Structure 1
Amino acid sequence: MAAPTGHVGPGGGGEEEEETEEEEDEEEEKGLRAVFPRDPELFAESFPARRRFRLCGRVLRIAELHGPGLGTAGSVWEAALSLCRFLGEQRLDLGGRRVLELGAGTGIVGIFAAMLGAEVTLTDRPAALPQLRENVRQNFPGGSPEGVAGGAPRVRALRWGRDQRRFPPRFHLVLGSDIVYDPRAFAPLLGTLRHLVVPPGRALLSARRRGGDAGTSRFFGQMLPPFFRVQLLRRDPEGDIEIYGLTPREGGGEGEQLTGVWGGPEGD
């Protein structure tokens, strides 16, 4: 009689069958390694991409830590580059000015402002702070390189609607790029802006208009105007990117703190 299937006995077929299964498993593992190489960064919580940007004669080194923990904060978006170009082209006098960037993400806008001489504070939710610190180190080795008046930016956590009271409203300029897209965040963002942007301070926000995006229009056209004079400073039709200047309504026209041109059509 033939031995029952799977029986392991002296000289029987069980050991030979088990050896064959091991060989098949090894071949299968080789095939999986070919498709999914054992790169430790592949299964990490985030993986870095390092990029260089040349903006208005300055070179910025930016690490993007892509991963589920950072989400949109892990990338450089076109609205951020547009705001950097605007700052460089307008030739605003940022020397010694106190600047805060909201939702900084990679920090490229605030880092660029620091290269223009501003004293910058980069803010975002806690998960984004390691990326911000890394990019500050990349662009300000040793803290304050020669020729940069503002020095290395500071990095602090600021969750809209929760942490703004930890920041005295003493900033000359508040910056934000592509932070107006989630309607759930509009109310806390508005509260944060109202706390931080007080006379004679101002704000510059860049936003990308996405197809069917009524929320962005509501934020700039309805939610901000009761508290700020909203001025459309630039529109990029190809990228659907707009840059707005915000001035507090109470006493907002007095005590101009920034020299430079903000020209553009009125937004209110």
Structure 2
Amino acid sequence: MKAEECDDDGEIGFLAVLRREDGRSHGEKPEEMGNHSPGDEPEQRHYELGSIGAVLTIRQLPSQGLSFQLWPAASSLVSLLDQNPSLLLASLPTSRRCLPNLNILELGAGTGLVGIAAAAVLGARVTITDMSHVLPNLLFNAQANACAVAARGGVVEVRQLEWGRHEEDAAGLGGASEKDAPAFDLVMASDVVYHDHLFDPLLQTLQFFVTGEVVFVLAHLRRWKKDAVFFRKARKLFEVSVIHTDPPLPGSRVGITVYRFVQKARAAGG
């Protein structure tokens, strides 16, 4: 089924907002956004969401870099969304568990699997973000799964958001007006703690979005000793707790851990 066939009114259940200088319109078709280098054979992965009877199709472009590939923590977080979404929702304050009105931000979305799955399973408005060169493939995957998202009343928006320069990219995120600060209920990410030179920019971005009652959920597979540096720095800024762990993958000594970050309470008079 084509994306255009999802809704009799012509709505396809998502918004695509790219950098203005890209000159692309919102109505471009997947094949027009799906350019890839000669010899770079796309790979498709299918994810069955049993809870809603849908299958997501995600395109990878491995030769284009890490952001164009699927990683274990993303699959783990999608399984958790599908099999036990109440665990994720329970991490939110009671006042923010308003299905189907959740407003979610995904950082470092890569292929977009996690955010698209969240929109489909939770019927949420999800803004999936990454660097500008990643957006065409993100948009391709959002369009390819438009029917599954629209069927649940979800919305997926594709936007640029560069860590450490988040304030420049934040205008209008999540349906906010250009003048208003974005108001998300939940921020999500998977396998984003990887390059140590990005630890501080990521933490700066988290400080901008994860304030008040906003919760950050991170699915992480520990690969390096240096990962501990990120979490040591994070614990100075946020209350960090573990809400889920997966057993180790075959051939691995560690499994996926899902963390919950919330803003540290300020001391009285602080």
Q: Structure 2 length as normaliser, TM-score?
A: 0.70
Task: Report the 3-state secondary structure (helix = DSSP H, G, I; strand = E; otherwise coil) of the residue aligned with 2:70.
Answer: coil
Residues 162/61 of structure 1: CA separation in 2 closer, same or farther (3 Å cut): same
Kept after mapping to 2: 8 A contact 1:56/1:85: no
Q: Percent identity?
A: 36
Runs of 4+, deviation exceeding 6 Å: none
Deviation at 1:225, TM superposition (A): 1.1
Deviation at 1:42, TM superposition (A): 10
Deviation at 1:45, TM superposition (A): 7.0
Kept after mapping to 2: 8 A contact 1:164/1:196: no
Q: Which residue of 2 aligns with 1:150?
A: 154
Q: Which residue of 1 aligns with 2:242?
A: 232
Q: Which residue of 2 aligns with 1:242?
A: 257
Task: Report the 3-state secondary structure (helix = DSSP H, G, I; strand = E; otherwise coil) of the residue aligned with 1:86.
Answer: helix
Q: Tell me, in whole angstroms, the C-alpha distance in 2 between the residues paired with 1:187 and 1:42.
A: 31
Q: Which amino acid aligns with 1:158?
A: L
Residues 166/107 of structure 1: CA separation in 2 closer, same or farther (3 Å cut): same
Q: Tell me, in whole angstroms, the C-alpha distance in 1 between the residues paired with 2:61 and 2:114.
A: 17
Correspondence 1:208-223 to 2 at 5 A: 208-210=221-223, 213-220=224-231, 222-223=232-233
1:176 aligns with 2:181: no
Q: Tell me, in whole angstroms, the C-alpha distance in 2 between the residues paired with 1:248 and 1:175.
A: 15
User: In the alignment, which of 80, 84, 87 is matched to residue 81 of structure 2?
Assistant: 87
Q: Tell me, in whole angstroms, the C-alpha distance in 2 between the residues paired with 1:217 and 1:100.
A: 24
Q: Which residue of 2 aligns with 1:29?
A: none
Residues 229/159 of structure 1: CA separation in 2 closer, same or farther (3 Å cut): same
Kept after mapping to 1: 8 A contact 2:61/2:68: yes
Q: Tell me, in whole angstroms, the C-alpha distance in 1 between the residues paired with 2:39 and 2:63.
A: 6
Where structure 1 has 5 or more consecutive residues not aligned to the other structure, the ranges are 1-40, 252-268
Per-residue CA distance 1:82-114 (angstroms, 9 max, x = gap): 111222313235521110100000100000110
Structure whose alpha-carbon radius of gyration is higher:
1
Q: Which amino acid aligns with 1:250?
A: A
Q: Which residue of 2 aligns with 1:78?
A: 72
Q: Which residue of 2 aligns with 1:16?
A: none
Q: Tell me, in whole angstroms, the C-alpha distance in 1 between the residues paired with 2:80 and 2:117.
A: 11
Deviation at 1:181, TM superposition (A): 1.2
Task: Report the 3-state secondary structure (helix = DSSP H, G, I; strand = E; otherwise coil) of the residue aligned with 2:61.
Answer: strand
Q: Tell me, in whole angstroms, the C-alpha distance in 2 between the residues paired with 1:199 and 1:81.
A: 29
Per-residue CA distance 1:107-132 (angstroms, 9 max, x = gap): 00000110121110000001110111
Per-residue CA distance 1:218-264 (angstroms, 9 max, x = gap): 212x111121110011222313211100111137xxxxxxxxxxxxx
Task: Report the 3-state secondary structure (helix = DSSP H, G, I; strand = E; otherwise coil) of the residue aligned with 2:226.
Answer: helix
Deviation at 1:165, TM superposition (A): 4.4
Q: Which residue of 2 aligns with 1:34?
A: none
Q: Tell me, in whole angstroms, the C-alpha distance in 1 between the residues paired with 2:234 and 2:36.
A: 42
Q: Which residue of 2 aligns with 1:59?
A: 55
1:125 aligns with 2:121: no
Task: Report the 3-state secondary structure (helix = DSSP H, G, I; strand = E; otherwise coil) of the residue aligned with 1:154.
Answer: strand
Q: Tell me, in whole angstroms, the C-alpha distance in 2 between the residues paired with 1:230 and 1:127.
A: 31
Q: Which has the higher contact order (CA 8 A, sep 6+)?
A: 2
1:187 aligns with 2:187: no
Q: Which residue of 2 aligns with 1:21?
A: none
Per-residue CA distance 1:186-233 (angstroms, 9 max, x = gap): 0000000000111111010011112xx12212212x111121110011
Kept after mapping to 1: 8 A contact 2:57/2:141: yes
Q: Tell me, in whole angstroms, the C-alpha distance in 2 between the residues paired with 1:131 and 1:79.
A: 19
- The worse-fitting range, judged by mean Cα deviation, of 157-166 and 168-177 is 157-166
